[in-house]
Structure 1
Amino acid sequence: MKRFAFGVLVLLIAGMAGRAEAAAGPWVKAGPVEARLVAAVEGTGTLDAIPAGLELRLDPGWKTYWRSPGDAGLPPTFDWSGSDNLDSAVHRYPAPHRFTLLGIETVGYDAEVLFPIRAVPRRAGEPVTLKASVDLLVCADICIPQKVAVGLSLPAGPATPGPEANDIARAEAAVPGDGRASGLSITAIRSASGVVEVEATAREPFVSPDVFIESVPPVALGALEVTYLDGDRRAILRLKATDPAPVDLAGRTVTATIVDGARSVEVQVPVAAGATAAADGRGLLAMLGVALLGGLILNLMPCVLPVLSLKLLSVVRHGDRPPAAVRAGFLASAAGILASFLVLAAAMIGLKAAGASVGWGIQFQQPLFLVFMVVLVTLFAANLWGVFEVPLPRAVADRLGGQEGQGLGGPFATGAFATLLATPCSAPFLGTAVGFALSRGAFEILAVFAALGVGLALPYLLVAAVPGLARLLPRPGRWMAALRRVLGAALALTAAWLLSVMAVQVGTETAALVAGLMVALVLALWLGRRLGEGMRWAGAGTAAALALVAFGVPMVFQPAADAAPTESATRWVPFDESAIGREVAAGRVVLVDVTAEWCITCLANKKLVISRGEVARRLDDPAAGIVAMRADWTRPDERIAQYLAVHGRYGIPFNIVYGPSAPAGIPLPELLSEAAVLEALERAR
C-alpha cells in the first residue's frame, strides 16, 4: 500500500509538472537577459487565438527597448518560422518608461517585462508549437545585440487557465488603451516653433506623467516639461524637438502615448498648429482681444435676436430720461451680462475640476435647463403681452424697478437673460477664444469669459458712455403697445424653438406636455388678472404650481423612441471617428459636421449652405466619393466632446473635411459659405 500511494503521488506530481510545462516554456539565458514563452491556457481547446506572451528578465542595470526606442536603440523583432500549426502571432507592448543619459532620451524597459502575444492557430483545436527567434538590443554602459530562441508546445485539449494566466492578463492591462479604464484622456496636441505640447486630463490626479510621440518620419524630441493644473487633474506636457533643423509636427497625424504609473492611454490624432501654453502673457492678451471681438459679434447672431426685443423696449423706455438715469440703466444691463459670463466661467471651472466634459452651450444638453428657459421665456412673453404685472411693495419696487420702473434690477435681469440666450450660438472668433480658455486653467477661463462678456455688453456700454444716443429714438407712445405684442410673439417663437430642442432630447410627447403646461400657465395668469384683485394671487399661485410640474416632466418621462435626429439616412452617416481614416485610405473625402438641435448657428449653416445648392448636390452624388458624417451633440456624448477637444474646440458648430490630400483635416469657419466648403472638398481630394 505504501508503494502504491508513493506511485500515485509521483504520477500526480508528474501530471502537475506536465501541465505547468504546457503553459510555460523553459527559460533561455543569453548574456544579461533570459527569456521564455508562456501561455494563459494549458490546451488549445477551440480557441481562435491563444493568449500568450514573451517574458524577459534583465540583469540589474540593463534595459531593452520599446517599439519606438527614442534617440538610440532598437525594438525587439520576432521570427516565428519554426512554429507548427501557427497562422500568425502578433505581439504588443506594455507601457514603457523613459531613460535619460547624458542628454540622450531612450524609451523601454528594465528589470523585467512581459510582451502579450496573440497566437492564431492555422487549425483550431489541434496542438500548437510556438518557436520564436527573438532579436533584442540590451544596454547598460554598453549595448549588446542578443538572439534568444524560445519555444512552447500546447497540446490539444481543454483551454483551462494555466498558472501564467494572471501574469498575461496584467501584461494585457498594461498595454495603453483608449483611456476609458485608466481615466486618462488626451484632449489636445499642438505644435509650434519646434515645440510639441500635449494636454491631458485624469480622473484621479496625475502623479508623474510622461508622454511619447511617434510620427512618420520620426522626430527627435528632448526632455519632458510638465505643468500641472486644476488640482493636478490636468497636465500640459511639452517636448522640444532636438533635431538640428526641427520639423514642425502641425498637420501630421501622430500616435501619442501617456504613461502615469500603472495608468496609460494611447491615441492617434492630428496635431494642431498654434502657440503653446508655454508662451508668455502676450498670448493671453491677444486672446482677450479675440474674445472681446467675438462677444461683440455675438450681438448680431440669430440666437441673440430674440433678446433684441427686450433691448429695444429698454432703449425706447429710457429715451426721455435724464442722462444719469440712462447711464445707470445701461450699466446695470452690462453688469448683468458680465456677471452671467463670470457665473458660466465658474461653472466651467467646476466641471473641469470634477473631470466632466466642458464646452460652449453644453447646458442646452440638459432637459431641466431647457424647461427653465421655456418657463422664463414664457413669463417674459406674457409680461410683454400685459397678461400679468408683479406687484411689489413700494420700497422693493423703488430698488428693483420693473418693466416700467426706474430701478436697476430689471436692466440687470435683461443683461443676464441676453447671456443665457446667447450661449447656443457660436460667432466668429468666439470658438477660438473659448477653445483657448477651456484648454487652460481657471485664471485663463475667468479672463477670457470676462472679455466675452464685455464684448457682448459693448452696445450697452456705448449708450452708457454717450447717454444722448437714447434721445435719438422715438418717444414712448401708443405704438409701444403694438410693439410689445409683436416682441412678445417673438419670444413665444423662441419658446417654441426651445421645445423643439427638448423634443429631440426627451421625446415629442414630453415636449408637448411641457408646451401644454406653459399654455395653462399663461391662461392662469390671464384669468387671475381678469377676475379681479382677489383672484390675482390665486392665478399666480396656479402658474407657479404649473411651472414646478413642468420641471418634473422630463424626470418622470424617459426619452421616447422618436427622440432622435431625423436626418436623411441616404446622405448622412453617424459619427464614427475610427472610420474616418479607413474612408480616406480608400480615396474618399469625409465631411464631418458636429451639430446640435440647440445650436442656432449650426441650423443656419445647415439650411443656408450644407442642405442646399452645390454643396447638397455634391453630398448627394454617389459618384463624388464624399462621405457626409454627422456628429449630433444635442445630448451629452463623451466621444464627440473628446473629438472636439482633440481639435482644440469646445463649442459648435465645428466642420472639418478629410481626404487623401488632407488626412489631418481642413477645419472650416464657424459661419459656413458655399465657396469655403467646396474649396475644402477639392483641396482634400
Structure 2
Amino acid sequence: LLNLMPCVFPVLSVKVLGFAQEAEEGTGAMQRNGLLFGAGVLVSMWVLAGGLLGLRAAGSQIGWGFQLQSPIFIALMTMLFFGIGLNLLGAFEVGTTLMNWGGRMQTNASGSGGTGAFLTGVLATVVATPCTAPFMGAALGVALTLSAAGALLIFTALGVGMATPYVVLSMTPALLDRLPEPGAWMETLKQAFAFPMFATAIWLVWVFGQQTSTGGVAFLLAGLLLLGVAAWIVHRWSAPQLSRTAMLVTRTLAGAALIGGVAVAIIGAGSAPAERASAASTDSATAGKAWRSYSSKTVESLRAKGRPVFVDFTAAWCLTCQVNKRRVLSTEAIQNAFDEKNVALVRADWTNRDPEITKALQSHGRSGVPVYVLYEGNGSEPRLLPEVLTEDMILNALGDLSSSS
C-alpha cells in the first residue's frame, strides 16, 4: 500500500519506465536492477533508522520523518524533484549527476544502470516517510522502544515489504513478457511522468512556506528559477555542438547558476518561521471553532476542569493529516458534535521539530503523525483513534463520552 501513496508513486513511476527500457536488454539486466532497487530501499531504510536511533540514544527528541522537519532538507528535495521534472521533459540530459539519480535512473551505459536502480530505491525511501504513519505508525512506535537489533529488524521488514513488488516484477519472466514493446510511447510516458514530479515540488513548496515564511518561499522560488536557467544553458548549448572553450564557459555558467540556486534556497530556509497565530486563525476560520496550540500544561489544565479534550497531532508535510483535517475534522457535523460535547480542541503542530510534542507522541506509543487522542472528562485513560479518520469514527467516539464522563 505504501507504494501507492502520493509521496512515493511519482518516484516509482520512473522505475516502471525503467522496467520497460530494460525489457529490451533482456531479463538479466532487469533482474539485476530489480535486486539493486530493493537493496537501495533496504540500505536507505537502515541508514534512516540508524540515524534516528543514534540521535535518540544521544538524547534528541525526534521521531520518524524527522528529516522533513528541516527546511533545508525540504528546500533541497524541492529542487531535486523540480530538476527531475525538467530532466523527464528533456530540458537537459546529464549522465551521472544528482538530477540523473531521479530523472533518468537507467542510463544507456549498462554499467551505470545498476547505480540508477539502487538510487531509485534510496530516493523512494527518503520521500516515503511522510506516508508511513497511516499504515505503520504503531509498528514504528514499537520499534523505537526496542533494542537496536529489534528495531532494525522491524525496519528491515518494512523495507522488504516496500521493495518486494518491484523485485518480484523484475524476477518473473511471465510478467516481463506482458510489458509492451519499446517504442515512441516510452518518450511520451517519460514526459508525462514529469508532471507528478512538478506536483510533488509544489507540495514541498507549500510545506516549506509552513516552516518558514513568504520571504523564505520567495528565496526558494528564486532558487528554482536559477535551476531552470542552469538546465536551459545545458540544453541550449549541448556538448556535441561545442568547442572545448565554449563547453568550459557554458558549463561554468550552468554550474554557477545551479550552485547559486541551491545557495539561495538554503538562505530562504533560514527565514524566520511564519507566525503560528496566523495559522491558528486560518484553522479557526476553516473549522468554525478555535484550536489551542499544544502544551502538556494546556491539556492537563483542561482535563482538571473536567472537559473532554481532543488532540490532533499533525504536520504540514503529512498528507494524511491534511486530508483528515479538511475532509473530517473541519466539517460542520464534526464541529457541531465537538460543541455539543463541550470538547476542547488542541492542535499539536509537528511541522518543525518540537521536543515536547515528540515526547507526547512517545507517551502514546507513536513516533510519527497523524495521531488523534481523545481525553474524556472523567480522568480516564485517553482513547487513540485510527490514523485514517471518518466522520462516523469521530461521532461514535464522542457518543461514548456521555456514558463514561
Match of 1:382 among 86, 110, 126: 86
| Distance of 1:633 and 1:427 partners within structure 2 | 13
| Distance of 1:428 and 1:462 partners within structure 2 | 25
Letter in 2 for 1:413: L
Instruction: Please say if 1:542 is aligned against 2:252.
Output: no
Deviation at 1:502, TM superposition (A): 1.1
Q: What is the TM-score of this pair, normalised by structure 1? A: 0.52
SS at match of 2:395: helix
Q: 1:513 to 1:591 in 2, by over 3 A?
A: same
Deviation readout 1:423-478 (Å, 9 max, x if unpaired): 11134441111111111221122111111111111111211331431331222322
Match of 2:54 among 350, 357, 360: 350
Deviation at 1:344, TM superposition (A): 0.5
Indicate conservation of the 8 Å contact 1:508/1:562, yes or no. no
List aligned pairs for 1:296-335, cutoff 5 A: 297-335=1-39
Q: What is the TM-score of this pair, normalised by structure 2? A: 0.86
SS at match of 2:387: coil
Letter in 1 for 2:284: S
Deviation readout 1:81-125 (Å, 9 max, x if unpaired): xxxxxxxxxxxxxxxxxxxxxxxxxxxxxxxxxxxxxxxxxxxxx
| Distance of 1:640 and 1:560 partners within structure 2 | 19
Partner of 2:397: 680
Deviation at 1:561, TM superposition (A): 4.1
| Distance of 1:431 and 1:606 partners within structure 2 | 18
Partner of 1:294: none
Partner of 1:504: 210
Indicate conservation of the 8 Å contact 1:382/1:388, yes or no. yes
Partner of 2:229: 523
Partner of 2:68: 364
Indicate conservation of the 8 Å contact 1:657/1:684, yes or no. no
SS at match of 1:423: helix
| Distance of 1:476 and 1:369 partners within structure 2 | 37
Higher helix share: 2
Deviation at 1:613, TM superposition (A): 5.7
Letter in 1 for 2:196: A
Partner of 1:447: 153
Indicate conservation of the 8 Å contact 1:508/1:563, yes or no. no
Partner of 1:583: 302
Partner of 1:671: 388
| Distance of 2:314 and 2:96 partners within structure 1 | 43
Q: 1:335 to 1:317 in 2, by over 3 A?
A: same
Partner of 2:242: none
Identity %: 37
Q: How many residues align?
A: 382
Deviation at 1:629, TM superposition (A): 1.1
Indicate conservation of the 8 Å contact 1:662/1:683, yes or no. no
SS at match of 1:303: coil
Deviation at 1:616, TM superposition (A): 3.8
Instruction: Please say if 1:601 is aligned against 2:320.
Output: yes
Partner of 2:353: 636
| Distance of 2:169 and 2:275 partners within structure 1 | 50
| Distance of 2:360 and 2:333 partners within structure 1 | 28
Instruction: Please say if 1:489 is aligned against 2:206.
Output: no
Q: 1:392 to 1:371 in 2, by over 3 A?
A: closer
Larger gyration radius, structure 1 or structure 2? 1
Indicate conservation of the 8 Å contact 1:506/1:563, yes or no. no
| Distance of 1:418 and 1:596 partners within structure 2 | 20
Larger deviation, residues 349-358 vs 464-473: 464-473
Indicate conservation of the 8 Å contact 1:528/1:538, yes or no. no
Partner of 1:373: 77
Higher strand share: 1
Letter in 1 for 2:122: A
Partner of 2:114: 408
Indicate conservation of the 8 Å contact 1:661/1:684, yes or no. no
Deviation at 1:332, TM superposition (A): 1.0
Deviation readout 1:16-72 (Å, 9 max, x if unpaired): xxxxxxxxxxxxxxxxxxxxxxxxxxxxxxxxxxxxxxxxxxxxxxxxxxxxxxxxx
Indicate conservation of the 8 Å contact 1:610/1:616, yes or no. yes
SS at match of 2:311: strand
Deviation at 1:524, TM superposition (A): 2.2
Match of 1:649 among 366, 373, 384: 366
Instruction: Please say if 1:615 is aligned against 2:334.
Output: yes
List aligned pairs for 1:38-437, cutoff 5 A: 297-391=1-95, 402-406=106-110, 407-437=113-143
Instruction: Please say if 1:659 is aligned against 2:358.
Output: no
Q: 1:476 to 1:615 in 2, by over 3 A?
A: farther
SS at match of 1:594: strand
| Distance of 1:304 and 1:614 partners within structure 2 | 33
Deviation readout 1:551-588 (Å, 9 max, x if unpaired): 53146533354796342263322113333344345443
Indicate conservation of the 8 Å contact 2:44/2:122, yes or no. yes
Indicate conservation of the 8 Å contact 1:658/1:684, yes or no. no
SS at match of 2:119: helix
Deviation at 1:595, TM superposition (A): 0.2
Q: 1:455 to 1:550 in 2, by over 3 A?
A: farther
Larger deviation, residues 408-417 vs 510-519: 510-519
| Distance of 2:345 and 2:274 partners within structure 1 | 26
